[in-house]
Structure 1
Amino acid sequence: MSYTGPVLVVTMVDDPTADLVINELHGRGVPVVRLDSGDFPATLSVAAKITEEGVGGTLVTPTRTADLSHVRSLYYRRPSGFAFPHLDERDARFAVTQARYGLGGVLAALPGCLYVNHPHRIGDAEFKPSGLAAAVASGFRVPPTLITSDPVAAKSFVEEHGLAIYKPLSTPLYRVDGVSCTVKVEEVTADQLDERLAGTAHLFSRRWARSPMCG
């Protein structure tokens, strides 16, 4: 790890949490390069080389230049998505994919860099079944859980456990009449479940009462 190079902060422009971290780093005399990967390639550029020493080269923002071989840490927060509005849909899909695996791959392979957190691990954590399995393996108690597209299995699970809740397996952008909406985590009963469940995967878990706080 380099203790003289900058900390890269990868996030969108409007991120108050990142602002606090950057202010603290500045107060400690730590150099910071803030960037939004969604600015690539309009106002963010990269020229990365892969040699026997690993990844090197430069990453350039409108106000900073980072030596990729001497980044001490990368704080990965909430960057905006890649966008190529000047391209047609087919070419834009291609460009987004190349940017994701190109710039994204470089940022994920910085030599000796301390990641908070590594973007690949963040991606792994997005999968609820994997997270629940890891929690069980680590000794945590988790409620009985079912992931299914089978209405019969879902009804049987809810009837067995009495109190059950539905959770979305992910939280993508969900719009109704152009308005952003949230898919609720809420209690369900067996009579609410029908053949529409067969359309995709769903997660159900037994509802546990919260334990009273101690102390």
Structure 2
Amino acid sequence: MNDGRSVLVLTNPYDVTADVVLRLLAERRVPVVRLDPGADLHTGALLTATYRSGSQQGTLRTASRELDTAQVRSVWVRRPSPYEGPTGLSDQDRRFAAEQALWGAGGILASLPGAHYVNHPWNNRAAEFKPAQLATARRCGFLVPSTVITNDPREAREFAARERGGVVYKPLRNAPYRVDGQPHSVWVRDVRGVEITDAVSVCPHMFQATVDKEFDARVTAVGDRLFGVRIDSPDLDWRRRQDLMTCMPVEVPGPVARAVAVYRAELRLTYGAFDFAVTAAGDWYFLECNPNGQWAWQPTETTAAIAHALADQLEKGSGT
């Protein structure tokens, strides 16, 4: 299967999760070029694309490699740094350079002819919107907790009053947030109606009926291969104190597996990290799907299996 074409990995230099897969590709003698376009393109890397009637050509030069971008086998969009522009410029010039890099370099790297994307960056972005996730999950046959997304405080309070089993608040995106100058995470938390103030009107907020769960589950999808783990945690949001949670492999029920396949097809995802709340009766409630979620924190055997599945996807490219 090794035809000499390279795998292009777009990620930051501190991404140790990517290293797990890159070691497997090296063992298989698959050529790999690693690039962090948001940083490398203003510290020496050079990217050129040429478009003519009937042809498209391009070259990427890094400190150690030169790549014909028309010969890229696969592109793994992992965790590249944001496009922020080079330091040393005025704020206005830096913002301008960052925008040009995003729309220029970002556009080139998202349009490589014949490359297999895991996942395509535009599909990643579309699939990150939680309202789109919930709408898609409902159409695909998942159980979905009752949810309201609103900037109307009255609607939010009425929703909380109707849900006798309780309501949780979830941020619509994990955006950077600081308290007293220190990074602060906004976790999923229980909310009572009396806590919902007119501050909701500042921006849309997401409130969801509490699922009386027995445990959480993560299903990592790599193509048609699914890897399920059960997560037991003392916290409502298991991400908050991962040192206190326990994980073990769990079988993914057939209806859930079929819904995952339909969901991936609708949003054109090769990879997806699906989170569920599972009740004592065995009902799996869809919570979200991170199209680029982390996976190397799972049990050793699951992590290894996911790494091999990703390496398989990248090695085969689009021609198989």
Aligned to 1:48: 49
* Counterpart code for 1:65: E
Give the RMSD, CA atoms, in angstroms: 1.6
On the 8 A contact 1:55/1:68 being kept in 2, the answer is no
On the 8 A contact 2:42/2:86 being kept in 1, the answer is no
TM-score normalized by the length of structure 1: 0.94
Aligned to 1:173: 176
Name structure 1 gaps, 5 residues minimum: none
- 1:78-122 CA-to-partner distances (Å, cap 9, x unmatched) read 011223211111111110000000000001001110000100111
User: Which of 78, 86, 89 is matched with 1:87 structurally?
Assistant: 89
Aligned to 1:24: 24
Aligned to 1:198: 201
- 1:57-91 CA-to-partner distances (Å, cap 9, x unmatched) read 10111111111101000011001122321111111
* Counterpart code for 1:202: H
User: Which of 181, 184, 187 is matched with 2:187 structurally?
Assistant: 184
Aligned to 2:116: 114
* Counterpart code for 1:24: L
**Deviation beyond 4 Å, 4+ runs, structure 1:** none
Q: CA shift at 1:4, angstroms?
A: 2.9
Structure 2 distance, partners of 1:60, 1:102, is 16
On the 8 A contact 1:10/1:75 being kept in 2, the answer is yes
Aligned to 2:79: 78
Aligned to 1:13: 13
Structure 2 distance, partners of 1:109, 1:200, is 34
Q: 3-state SS of the aligned residue for 1:121?
A: helix
Q: CA shift at 1:53, angstroms?
A: 4.4
* Counterpart code for 2:201: A
On the 8 A contact 1:54/1:111 being kept in 2, the answer is no
* Counterpart code for 1:28: R
Q: 3-state SS of the aligned residue for 2:117?
A: strand
Q: 3-state SS of the aligned residue for 2:34?
A: strand
Matched, 1:208 2:198: no
Aligned to 1:142: 144
Structure 2 distance, partners of 1:50, 1:142, is 46
Q: CA shift at 1:212, angstroms?
A: 3.9
Q: CA shift at 1:44, angstroms?
A: 1.6
TM-score normalized by the length of structure 2: 0.64
% identity of equivalent residues: 41
* Counterpart code for 1:52: S
Q: 3-state SS of the aligned residue for 1:43?
A: coil
CA, structure 1 residues 3+51, in 2 after alignment: closer, same or farther (shift >3 Å)? farther
* Counterpart code for 2:133: G
Structure 1 distance, partners of 2:16, 2:123, is 23
- 1:133-181 CA-to-partner distances (Å, cap 9, x unmatched) read 1111111111111010001000000000121110000111111222111
* Counterpart code for 1:64: R
Structure 2 distance, partners of 1:187, 1:65, is 52
On the 8 A contact 1:149/1:198 being kept in 2, the answer is yes
On the 8 A contact 1:55/1:109 being kept in 2, the answer is no
Aligned to 2:133: 131
Higher mean C-alpha displacement, 89-98 vs 54-63: 54-63
Name structure 2 gaps, 5 residues minimum: 214-278, 283-320
Higher mean C-alpha displacement, 170-179 vs 196-205: 170-179
CA, structure 1 residues 3+120, in 2 after alignment: closer, same or farther (shift >3 Å)? farther
Q: CA shift at 1:54, angstroms?
A: 5.2
On the 8 A contact 1:164/1:206 being kept in 2, the answer is yes
Q: CA shift at 1:51, angstroms?
A: 2.6
